[in-house]
Amino acid sequence: MVPTRRDFLNGLALAGLGAALALAGAAEPAARRGASRPLSDREEFGHLLRRAGFGAGPGEVEAHQALGWEGAVDRLVNYEKVPNDSLEARLAELRLDLTKPQDLQRWWLLRMAYTARPLEEKLTLFWHGLLTSGLSKAPPPLMLAQNQFLREHALADFGTILKGIARDPAMMRWLDIAGSVRGRPNENYARELMELFTLGIGNYTEQDVREAARAFTGYTVDREGRVSFVRSRHDDGLKTVLGRTGRWGPDDIVDIILDQPVAAAFLAGKLLKFFVRPDPSPEATVEVARTLRETGYSIKAAIRKVFTLAEFRSPAAYRSLVKSPAEYAAGTLRQLGVETDGAGLPGLVNQMGQTLFNPPNVAGWPGGPAWLNTATWLARLNFANRVATDRRGVRVDPGRWFPSGRLPADPAGFVDRLGELLLDGNVGPEQRAVLLDFGSESGVALDPARWFDSRGRAIIYLMLALPEYHLA
């Protein structure tokens, strides 16, 4: 039987799963580029915009290159100064019902794709994966309120974030702070605060957990999500936590924990593994931990330090992380300048293995190569196909990719520009030859629009399926 064009495309794309898994598990990420050479200017800025956000839209790499590295980092980190009115107007027009899980997920995915403040959303995603709560125990209005809290405090000091999240209604339900009373303290929050949020296993005792749990007693959450403190239900007795004794309340416990030297190293490791590489060096961890301690756990100072580390700009960090489904989906929309209302987008991201606002457990998503298996890879390809073929309200205008506003007269110009947008220009010679061969069709110069519909869309699909594109 003669293979069809669809067979050809699917065969190439499915072959990418094994390659993507191999790249994601490679011991030396530099090998993915075929060399340990320093990153080019475009690679560096593309890398920065993927890690500090969800990738660069058309023209964004060039705009940040013009600022220089320090200037680009300053612009990304000081996002409070950047107007975001167009995003808010876009979302308001959709009239989403944020009491419905799918509309809530759609709202956030569109924020990631269209925000003028990419680091704001990326940090919100980081905190959502660390300080987890989920729809399985907290309804959409409470999860929305938590998401807004994490966004508003994304660059605050860690102590402020921890003190606020302990009084967040969604977290109080998720880890059973609500209803914990004097004489019967619930230990869930105190345990996860130490184990998953701040210290790590081995850096506290079970007695520390039991004593700290007493400090979080007395708080309730009503049906509308209002938090109340009932003094008669609070244990105000002496408590000994991590070697310090006093009549501690919730804020005191946070302060005691953050006084532990290991707390800064723990958070530094979390930031580096999320923003830099799966196996950060001890030296990088020490540098970021020092910044945290010296600045009172300022996240703004720490994230600036992360982006200015030599390790961040190294070949070892480049394409060393597997994109989460949210990063893959929102990043694709952003990098290609896609216009969409996001209808159906949450379902596609869920099929890829990530249900925003509902992580699998208190430890969040495992991430890394765990994002990729046969089922989730096919879901990624289905999303790529939807984008490439303009299905269901998804519109791609390739003219936006070119300064002239028009498609080039030859397939090579199209392939090379798409490779710049999606892969920092790192399309291998063999990959490029296959794409050009597939894109060759007489008449492209005479009718670029016809060529785009018959061949260009398929090239988009194939490039979105390349294993390298699934690495951040």
SS3 241: strand
pLDDT higher at 266 or 437: 266
SS3 437: helix
CA dist list (Å): 405 to 25, 283, 337, 363, 408: 40, 46, 13, 46, 9
Which residues are CB-contacts of 246 (< 8 A; sequence separation ≥ 6)? 238, 239, 252
**Cα–Cα nearest to 252, from 262, 238, 266, 264:** 238
pLDDT at 3: 38
Which residues are CB-contacts of 216 (< 8 A; sequence separation ≥ 6)? 166, 177, 180, 185, 186, 189, 190, 250, 253
DSSP label of 240: E
Q: Do 324 and 371 meet the contact criterion of CB atoms below 8 Å apart? A: yes
Length of the chain: 472
- Pull the structure tokens for residue 242: 């991590």
| Rounded distance between C-alpha atoms, residue 6 and residue 458, angstroms | 9
| Rounded distance between C-alpha atoms, residue 371 and residue 236, angstroms | 45
pLDDT at 450: 86
pLDDT at 17: 59
Q: Residue 220's beta-bridge partner residues?
A: 228
The C-alpha torsion from 43 through 51 and 258 to 297, rounded to 10°, is: 70
297: left (phi over 0), alpha (psi -120 to 50) or beta: left
SS3 345: helix
pLDDT at 362 over 90: yes
pLDDT at 443 over 70: no
DSSP label of 234: S
Q: Do 121 and 112 meet the contact criterion of CB atoms below 8 Å apart? A: yes
pTM: 0.94
Across the range 209-228, mean pLDDT stands at: 97
Q: Do 464 and 384 meet the contact criterion of CB atoms below 8 Å apart? A: yes
Among 9-13, 279-283, 411-415, the minimum mean pLDDT is found in 9-13
| Rounded distance between C-alpha atoms, residue 468 and residue 292, angstroms | 33
Q: Residue 221's beta-bridge partner residues?
A: 227
Phi, psi values for residue 94, rounded to 5°: -75, -20
- Pull the structure tokens for residue 428: 């291998």
Q: Do 119 and 53 meet the contact criterion of CB atoms below 8 Å apart? A: yes
Q: Residue 245's beta-bridge partner residues?
A: 240
The C-alpha torsion from 276 through 278 and 281 to 282, rounded to 10°, is: 110
CA dist list (Å): 297 to 158, 163, 291: 5, 13, 8
Q: Do 190 and 213 meet the contact criterion of CB atoms below 8 Å apart? A: yes
Which residues are CB-contacts of 237 (< 8 A; sequence separation ≥ 6)? 214, 247
pLDDT at 447: 80
pLDDT at 212: 99
pLDDT at 14 over 70: no
Q: Do 459 and 435 meet the contact criterion of CB atoms below 8 Å apart? A: yes
Among 222-231, 316-325, 343-352, 430-439, the minimum mean pLDDT is found in 430-439
Q: Considering the chain, what percentage of its residues have pLDDT values greater than 90?
A: 84
**∠ CA(308), CA(311), CA(313), 5° rounding?**
65
pLDDT in tens, 43-62: 999 999 999 999 999 999 99
pLDDT at 106 over 80: yes
- Pull the structure tokens for residue 279: 């196996």
DSSP 56-86: PPTTHHHHHHTTHHHHHHHHHHTGGGS--HH
Report helix, strand and coil shares of the chain as percent, to nearest 5.
Answer: 60, 5, 35
**Cα–Cα nearest to 234, from 223, 225, 247, 252:** 247
The C-alpha torsion from 359 through 362 and 368 to 371, rounded to 10°, is: -30
The pLDDT-based confidence of 398 (bands split at 50, 70, 90) is very high
- Could you give the angle at which helices 118-130 and 68-77 cross, rounded to 10 degrees? 60
pLDDT at 6 over 90: no
Across the range 341-368, mean pLDDT stands at: 97
| Rounded distance between C-alpha atoms, residue 51 and residue 54, angstroms | 7
pLDDT at 391: 76
Q: Where are the beta strands (DSSP E) in 398-441?
A: none
Q: Do 190 and 362 meet the contact criterion of CB atoms below 8 Å apart? A: no
Mean pLDDT, the chain, rounded, equals 93
